[in-house]
Each structure stands twice: as C-alpha cells, then as structure tokens.
C-alpha cells in the first residue's frame, strides 16, 4: 500500500524519523552482479532494451541493500533514439549520436507521440518491476530533462561545457527552441507511459542545468520541467515528480514553485544546512552526499552522512547522493552509509 512506502510519504510532505534511501545509478558498474548481467546482454544498449535483463539489474541493488526505492534501468538517450536520432556507444568513451543542428533536422524527427513502439521494451521493464519489487519499495521512472538531452542531440556526444548547444541557442534560437519543444512533448509522452506501466513516481534529470546562465536557466531548464510536471499531473493526478536541476547552486531556492515538483534533488555543490533553510522550507528535498564518499568510505562517510540527516531532520527528506554512484565505488561503503542512516 502507498501509505507503507516511505519514499511516497516523504514526497507527500511527511517528515519521517529516518529518511528513506536510494541512490542515483544504484544499478551499475560498481556491483559485480551488474557487470555479469551486462556481459550476458552483450552491450549497454542491448541491456537497456532487454526487458528481463534490465529488470534484473534494477532489482539487484534492492536485493543487496534493501533500498526504499528502485529506479528503472534505462538511459536518457533512448528517448531521442526513439525520435529517430542514431545512437551508439563507444567503449570507454560513452554515447555518440547523429547531430540535430538545423530546422530540417528537427522536421526529420518523429512526432512526440510516435515514440512508443520503439520504447515498448522500456515500458515492459516497468511492468516487470511493478510485479516483482517488494511491496514496500517505490518504483521510480525517469527521463532526462529537455535541456540536457538537447545538449547530446546538438553536440552528438557529451561535452565538458555543452558548448555546441549554447552556440546553437545563440546563433539559431528558432531551431534550438524547436528541439526543446519537441523534447518537452516527447518527455511527457514517455513519462506518462511509464506511469501507466506502473511507475509510482518520476524523476527529471537536468544534469547540465548549471551551465545555463541568467534568463536561460528559467527558460530552458525550469520552464520545460514545469510544463512536463504540469502535464503529467493533469494526466496522472497524484503522481509525484522529483526534479534535479543539477548545478543550480543558490538558484535551487524557489525551484519547487518554479517547476511544481514534489521534491527537488540537490547536488553536493550546496550544503545541507543551506538547502534546509532555503529549499526544504518549500517541500521535500533529496540528497546530497558527495559520491566520492562511496569510494573513500571511513569516518568521513559516517560523519558527513550523519550531518546531512541532522540538517534535513526538520522536514521531508529522501537520502541520496549528490550525483550518481561511480564505477570505482566500494559496495561495502554503500552498506556503511545505509547502516549509518538507519542505525544512527
């Protein structure tokens, strides 16, 4: 039952004596069982589109750690691929995509509501998880926010400063905004289908929000996430939304209202004490232990974990990292973090 799911209670605004816990990228390369399953799949994209194996790697950290939530295993770039962008992964280097940099390229893409056949395996993964997760575990669906996905579509790969997307935004604003608008509409379709398949909450990852300056931050990070959130809540009343405008710094303040999200996920670029005063006052927050503690462990992990729990103890809080766990993390440090939170 929903009232037994700690994540949903926190998202509804309840202050809990012990914060619920999950981790970004909790199904991933730091776990030996994940590496074995990925080898079985053959490559990363094959793993994403094999519903049984994608469900398996999603379940692995739940079996090992008993997290309070499980997040669908997929990739933010499956959505542009469903729109017609070529996508492949280079071993050791990450994703590569065909670029979309002019209006003809935008017009050649599929409409937002034509993504579902391509993404059917992802929806099947959600249905499997909805059946197989423990009754107390919340199932989180997700997508990349339009700005972050656009940076890959425009640049053809990840870039350290998102320069190709910023350049297109400056030089051809009409094409840039057409990409953002298409991604906004497609993300509504994608997350709505995840909710229909059984996701109980969804998260928007705007991983590169921090590189947007001035009005562009509101226009191209917050506003698309607001539109997506409003549309999802109209289609699925009561569906909680977590928004993550990573790198926002002091601009995290006010983002609950600007987006309409139930929870704002925080990176470790702001202190928990600052965020409790300026962000948590408006609703649930998620975060924000530095991912490096999962590598180094020890007393520093314990003390920082306790400090974050204490800082956010006066309001609704979901414990998480400030960004995804890294492949070099020690699984024992994850257990130490969990024990510290749950056992004091």
Packing angle of the helix pair 173-197, 163-171 (nearest 10 deg): 120
Distances, alpha carbon 2 to alpha carbons 11, 41, 158, in Å: 11, 33, 38
From the candidates 29, 64, 96, 127, give the one annotated as an active-site residue. 29
From the candidates 75, 172, 181, 282, give the one annotated as an active-site residue. 75
- The DSSP line for 228-246 is HHHHHHHHSTT--EEEEET
246 carries an active-site annotation: no
Question: Distance between CA atoms of 322 and 306, rounded to whole angstroms?
Answer: 15
* Count of alpha carbons within 13 angstroms of residue 280, beta-carbon side: 27
Distances, alpha carbon 128 to alpha carbons 44, 87, 124, 125, in Å: 19, 26, 6, 5
Element (H, E) at 70: strand 69-71
From the candidates 9, 25, 246, 251, give the one annotated as an active-site residue. 25
Instruction: Give me the sign of the Cα torsion angle 208, 211, 215, 216.
Output: negative
Question: Distance between CA atoms of 78 and 301, rounded to whole angstroms?
Answer: 34
38 carries an active-site annotation: yes
Q: What are phi and psi of 205, to 5 degrees?
A: -100, 105
Instruction: Give me the sign of the Cα torsion angle 303, 317, 208, 100.
Output: positive
Packing angle of the helix pair 51-65, 116-132 (nearest 10 deg): 30
123 carries an active-site annotation: no
Question: Distance between CA atoms of 41 and 121, rounded to whole angstroms?
Answer: 14
Question: Distance between CA atoms of 148 and 164, rounded to whole angstroms?
Answer: 12
Element (H, E) at 201: strand 201-206
From the candidates 35, 38, 96, 235, give the one annotated as an active-site residue. 38
Region of 29 (left: φ > 0; alpha: ψ -120 to 50; beta: rest) is alpha
342 carries an active-site annotation: no
243 within 8 A of 204, measured Cβ to Cβ = yes
94-97 and 87-90 beta bridge pairing:
antiparallel
96 carries an active-site annotation: no
From the candidates 30, 34, 65, 152, give the one annotated as an active-site residue. 152
Q: Which residues form the catalytic set?
A: 25, 29, 38, 75, 152
């Amino acid at each position: 039952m929903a009232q037994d799911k700690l994540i949903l209670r926190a998202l509804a605004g309840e202050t809990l004596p012990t914060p619920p816990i999950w981790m970004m990228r909790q199904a991933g390369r730091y776990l030996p069982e994940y590496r074995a399953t990925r080898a079985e799949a053959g490559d990363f994209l094959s793993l994403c589109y094999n519903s049984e194996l994608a469900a398996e790697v999603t379940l692995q950290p739940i079996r090992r750690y008993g997290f309070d939530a499980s997040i669908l295993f997929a990739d933010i770039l499956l959505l542009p691929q469903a729109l017609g962008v070529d996508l492949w992964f280079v071993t050791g280097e990450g994703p590569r995509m065909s670029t979309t940099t002019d209006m003809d390229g935008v017009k050649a893409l599929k409409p937002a509501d034509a993504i579902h056949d391509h993404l059917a395996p992802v929806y099947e993964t959600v249905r499997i998880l909805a059946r197989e997760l423990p009754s107390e575990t919340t199932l989180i669906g997700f997508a990349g926010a339009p700005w972050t996905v656009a940076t890959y579509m425009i640049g053809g790969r990840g870039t350290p400063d998102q320069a190709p997307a910023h350049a297109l935004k400056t030089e051809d604003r009409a094409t840039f905004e057409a990409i953002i608008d298409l991604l906004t509409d497609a993300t509504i379709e994608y997350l709505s289908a995840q909710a229909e398949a059984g996701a109980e909450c969804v998260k928007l990852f705007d991983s590169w929000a921090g590189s947007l300056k001035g009005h562009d931050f509101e226009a191209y990070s917050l506003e698309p996430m607001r539109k997506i959130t409003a549309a999802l809540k109209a289609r699925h009343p009561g569906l909680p939304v977590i928004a993550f405008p990573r790198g926002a710094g002091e601009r995290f303040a006010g983002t609950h209202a600007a987006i309409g999200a139930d929870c704002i996920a925080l990176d470790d670029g702001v202190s928990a004490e600052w965020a409790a005063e300026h962000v948590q006052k408006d609703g649930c927050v998620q975060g924000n232990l530095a991912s490096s503690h999962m590598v180094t462990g020890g007393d520093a992990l314990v003390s920082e974990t306790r400090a974050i729990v204490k800082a956010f103890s006066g309001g609704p809080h979901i414990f998480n990292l400030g960004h995804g766990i890294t492949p070099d993390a020690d699984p024992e440090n994850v257990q130490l973090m969990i024990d510290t939170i749950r056992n004091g």
